[in-house]
Amino acid sequence: MIAQPWLRALKVVHRLPGRVRLSYPRNLHAPDPVALESMARLIDGVTSVRVNARAASLVIAFDASRTSVMTIVATLADMRWDEVEAKPRADDGAGAVASSLAVLVGASVLPMPARLPISLAAAAPMLRAGVADYRDNGVTSHVLESMAVAISLTRSDFLAANATTFMLALGEYMEHSIARRSDDLLKHLLRPSSDLIWVLRGGDEVQIPAGDVCVGDSVVVGAGAVIPVDGTVMSGEGVINEAAMTGESVSVIKTRGAKVLSGTSMEDGRLTIYAEQVGRHTAAARIADYVEQSLTAKSEAQLDAARLADRLVPTVLKLAGVSAVLTGDWRSAASVLQADYSCALKLATPVAFKSAMYNAGQSGILVKGATALERLAQADTFIFDKTGTLTTGHLEVTDSIAFDSAYSAEDLICLAASVEEHYFHPLALAVVNAAQATDKNHHFDHTEVQFIVAHGVASEVNGQRIVVGSRHFVEDHEGIDVSAHAEVVERLYLGGKTLLFIGFGGRLLGILALKDSLRASAAATIARLRRAGVKRVLMLSGDHRDRAAELAEQLGLDGFHAELTPEDKAGIVADLNAKGAKIAFVGDGINDAPALAGAHVGVAMQKGADIARLTADVVLLEDSIARVADARDLANAAMARIATNYKLTVGLNTAILGLAALGALSPVATAVLHNGTTIGILLNAFRGSGPKAGKRRA
């Protein structure tokens, strides 16, 4: 496995001369905290280290004359687990559960003098952790739990002390297991790539390190291999399983011109792929980055829950004191101290978010953290870019107009395709596809093709020069007069079409008009968004107003803006933001990046430009606009589940707390009820996050 940094982000929580406390969100591949403590002790100048695994913090004492806080932080942040001597993994609390259960069962048969030392030994790790937590963080829920056990031990109520210790150990083990499993599910979205890749160099296939592959390389992938780059198929045919990236279980056949994603696997065949994204820029690598972010990013709902839990801790402590005074029984105080809100409030929300993000990933949707999911559910206005979003972005030949009666419309297409088939460009692919769809698909023999960058192509057919390209190319570069057909050209332009001019023998032979088509599921997606609570759906476009109006009417949109620049799009988003709208912007181009960044939440299409995918909060992994509605449905479901869990947590724990304060619950009963309800709430947050994604809409 590739070496990974231990700690993604260290934060200085508190510092004194010669002492610092750090919080440490752990990396996916981080070793056990015990190993972290051992390695921190090896830093020159460090005199002592104490790790609080529950609080995810470490307190370091150091000699200020030999090292500094900055040096310590930098050293820890750069540590990689493969540089550390392997240590046995901790049992994640299973040992504590087993030992506390043994004490609970065995203590009752021991003579009374032996029960105190046995019970104290079983509770000692919890008591030490409570003291350390109090020293580092003040009064917390873990401190309250330790106090409850200490009270029972002081009163020689060993059954209550041992039962509480066991239930707390079991509850913590289950809570951590559920939280860890939600992380593990997200990590299943990662797909390893080979360290060596086959590429064409000088006509020969050579194997080179993955890090040496560059954009523009011709990557060769055979059956059984994982595709290591994002790119376009140049030659060959292959059957590809894309489930790892899109969640789609049906394998697809890829041929020349098809897009492929890294992390997908070749089941059969052989492809030569033009590398467009390599290394850290590939889809698989971006998934890894998104997963890393999602494991630590905290939403407003999560922060609110954590803040409420922290605020309630002093209230629980005061209530325990009042209960003890009013009832005259310290057992009621011990019961109250165990009925805190912290675990369920702090864990259920992130578990629900991670489960939803895993389901989203399995459905071909990458969500960059809990905040993005939360904002997606809040959005009341969806704004779509037109080209490549509401439309397919795949150009199709709609008009073939020949100005020479010797050539039919099909002849014109086939003539252009004969020279364009050597050109790797969306316009060229569209013309070739159109020629293949004709009855004849006639090929015109020609000489070597010249590529004129940003203009078009040129060759010779039957001794006459043929050029295919833009108006500027045929008029200014080739000197061909187009003015006689200005009316036809203007009509096609007003239809929002892209034009290819064919010059043959120094004259304009004809024009091919191309246009991208409306996505088949666009109307259904907009209808689903409205059912999911979206109030307004708008469209922004740089195209001609007539074409935009036609699309808006066809889709039943609430409004549109046409003939826009990128600055115009960002300005419209900013204006709507200022009026209180919560905008989800869906786009795919470089020109959409400012609008994506300015929206409440940005959604980038699968074939979008790099900057669009980097700027967006949500990235679609497959070219289907239906995934936008799927993302909204997932976000709504996640927030509904979080709201339900929040109400359950507050309601159930308040009831338990009230009964404990009134003396109606023993410490053992409180421990059973509190931990049982907490585990149930966590399981509810976790449900629906199994390895299989649900059936998706096309």
Q: Which residues are catalytic?
A: 385
Largest CA distance in the chain: 113
Distance between CA atoms of 140 and 153, rounded to whole angstroms? 20
Q: Which of 641, 628, 588 is nearest to 610 (CA)?
A: 588
Q: Which of 292, 294, 291, 298 is nearest to 349 (CA)?
A: 298
The per-residue b/e assignment along 196-214, b for 16 or more CB within 10 angstroms, e otherwise, is: ebbbeeeeeeeeeeeeebe
Distance between CA atoms of 526 and 547, rounded to whole angstroms? 19
Which structure tokens are listed for 492?
């096609």
- 584 contact partners, CB below 8 Å, separation of at least 6: 375, 376, 379, 381, 382, 383, 599, 600, 601, 602, 603, 632
Which structure tokens are listed for 50?
């104490």
Q: Show the DSSP H helices in 328-425 as ranges.
A: 330-338, 342-362, 370-378, 409-420
- Looking up tokens 């002390």 gives 161
Q: Which of 633, 229, 696, 616 is nearest to 389 (CA)?
A: 616
Which structure tokens are listed for 153?
């031990």
The alpha carbon torsion through 575, 579, 582, 587 (nearest 10 deg) reads: -20
Distance between CA atoms of 516 and 545, rounded to whole angstroms? 16
Distance between CA atoms of 58 and 137, rounded to whole angstroms? 11
3-state secondary structure at position 263? coil
- For 242-367, strand residue ranges (E) read 252-254, 259-260, 265-277, 365-367
Tell me how far CA of residue 348 lies from CA of 293, 294, 581, 680, in angstroms.
Answer: 18, 15, 29, 10
DSSP structure class, residue 603: E
